[in-house]
């Protein structure tokens, strides 16, 4: 196939590999949710189902009717990312039901061994109302970046890098879920910042994932609603892992390199406060991110080498 470049073949092979990975995550979610006695209420978020159907129709249109390979490849990569995120979250709910002992005491002990003074750290971020609002804004900027990062990579025609980002994101998410099974934690906010009496009297409008963790572990929560999915994992910090992945994915774009790096460093700095994480959670999240980047590089490099070999063989015929 002399008219097809090695880059095009690599992108196609990456897409195929990512589909296998996506299907494995979906299969793992289905098996683990069923095995843990949970069920998913798909009717709880009809908007999500309608958007998914519309997205699938648009992708089919540009793949099969009005063919645009570059656009369809981009749409497929984003679909794989969203599916991995959704089903990875479902896996985290199933992981919680295993109900192994909370490891907060050990995590807090490691923080103290590291010399991390949580009380002083929290005081710095919460001694003024504007600091609290700014910290929350920065912390929540992780989710918009899930859309912005693929968009920038698509606009700059970095398809292979986008696929590598999807792979790294998926590896990081599944890795955090797997670790969380064996190192569950209720979080520093509930375990350290509050007394048991204060937690019991905590107003319902004050959010903490501890309530959902307790309900899942006690069997009080059996139905997962798609309109209210929560991030339940404390150790490792997926917020930290995602922030590093966003910064790494957009690093080749010199015009936004430093603002994106600064934003994601700020996200990491707010994670112990807004995410109620221990310092060791952040360190472990960073390790997961670096390992995921390395693993994604291996799979993309393998596909690229195979693509170059196929083109070389084809040209020699």
Q: Quick check: is 282 in a domain?
A: yes
Up-side HSE of residue 20: CA atoms within 13 Å toward CB? Answer: 6
| pLDDT (0 to 100) of residue 300 | 65
CA–CA gap between residue 247 and residue 69 (Å, rounded): 27
| pLDDT (0 to 100) of residue 63 | 83
| pLDDT (0 to 100) of residue 262 | 95
Q: For the purposes of burial, counting CB atoms within 10 Å of the CB of 50, is it exposed (0-12), middle (13-18) or buried (19 or more)?
A: exposed
| pLDDT (0 to 100) of residue 127 | 86
How do residues 83-96 score in pLDDT, each as one tens digit? 999 999 999 999 99
Q: Quick check: is 273 in a domain?
A: yes
Alpha helix ranges (H) inside the chain: 6-35, 46-60, 69-97, 104-114, 118-126, 129-140, 142-155, 159-182, 188, 196-200, 210-218, 238-250, 257-274, 279-316
* Structure confidence at residue 72 as a pLDDT band (50, 70, 90): confident
Residue 60 has pLDDT above 50, yes or no: yes
Average pLDDT of span 256-267: 94
| pLDDT (0 to 100) of residue 59 | 87
| pLDDT (0 to 100) of residue 246 | 96
Task: Output the average pLDDT for the chain.
Answer: 87
**DSSP H or E run through 223:** strand 223-225
- Decide which of 8 and 11 is more confident: 11
Q: Quick check: is 208 in a domain?
A: yes
| pLDDT (0 to 100) of residue 309 | 47
Query: Which candidate, 185, 195, 4, 17, places its Cα nearest to that of 106?
Result: 185
CA–CA gap between residue 176 and residue 171 (Å, rounded): 9
CA–CA gap between residue 175 and residue 88 (Å, rounded): 10
Most confidently modeled range among 35-39, 54-58, 131-135, 169-173: 169-173
Q: Quick check: is 1 in a domain?
A: no
CA–CA gap between residue 98 and residue 92 (Å, rounded): 10
How do residues 97-155 score in pLDDT, each as one tens digit? 887 899 999 999 999 999 999 999 999 888 888 988 999 899 988 889 999 999 999 98
Q: Quick check: is 44 in a domain?
A: yes
Range of the domain at 97: 6-316
How do residues 10-30 score in pLDDT, each as one tens digit? 788 888 889 999 999 999 999
Q: Quick check: is 132 in a domain?
A: yes
* Structure confidence at residue 5 as a pLDDT band (50, 70, 90): low
What's the domain count of the chain? 1
How do residues 202-241 score in pLDDT, each as one tens digit? 788 777 888 888 889 888 889 999 888 888 888 999 999 9
Residue 315 has pLDDT above 80, yes or no: no
Provide the 10 A C-beta neighbour count for residue 192: 19
How do residues 149-193 score in pLDDT, each as one tens digit? 999 999 898 888 899 999 999 999 999 999 999 999 988 888 888
| pLDDT (0 to 100) of residue 232 | 86
């Amino acid at each position: 196939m002399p008219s097809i470049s090695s880059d095009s073949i690599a992108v196609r092979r990456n897409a195929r590999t990512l589909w296998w990975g996506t299907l494995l995550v979906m299969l793992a979610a289905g098996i683990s949710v069923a095995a843990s006695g949970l069920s998913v209420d798909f009717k709880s978020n009809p908007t999500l189902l309608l958007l998914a159907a519309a997205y699938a129709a648009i992708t089919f249109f540009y793949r099969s009717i009005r063919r645009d390979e570059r656009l369809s490849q981009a749409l497929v990569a984003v679909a794989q990312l969203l599916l991995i995120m959704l089903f990875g979250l479902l896996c985290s709910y199933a992981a919680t039901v295993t109900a192994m002992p909370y490891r907060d005491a050990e995590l807090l002990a490691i923080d103290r061994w590291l010399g991390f003074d949580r009380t002083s750290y929290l005081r710095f971020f919460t001694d003024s109302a504007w600091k609290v609002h700014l910290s929350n804004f920065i912390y929540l900027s992780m989710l918009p970046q899930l859309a912005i990062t693929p968009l920038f990579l698509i606009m700059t025609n970095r398809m292979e890098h986008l696929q590598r980002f999807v792979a790294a994101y998926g590896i990081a998410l599944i890795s955090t879920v797997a670790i969380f099974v064996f190192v569950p934690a209720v979080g520093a906010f509930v375990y350290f910042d509050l007394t048991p009496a204060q937690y019991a009297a905590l107003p319902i409008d004050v959010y903490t994932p501890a309530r959902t963790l307790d309900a899942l572990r006690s069997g009080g929560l059996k139905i997962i609603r798609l309109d209210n999915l929560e991030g339940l994992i404390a150790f490792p910090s997926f917020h930290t892992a995602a922030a590093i992945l966003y910064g790494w994915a957009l690093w080749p774009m010199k015009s936004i390199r430093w603002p994106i790096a600064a934003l994601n460093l700020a996200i990491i700095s707010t994670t112990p406060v807004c995410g109620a994480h221990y310092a060791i959670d952040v360190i472990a999240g960073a390790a997961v991110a670096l390992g995921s980047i390395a693993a994604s590089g291996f799979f993309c490099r393998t596909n690229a080498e195979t693509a170059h070999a196929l083109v070389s063989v084809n040209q020699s015929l």
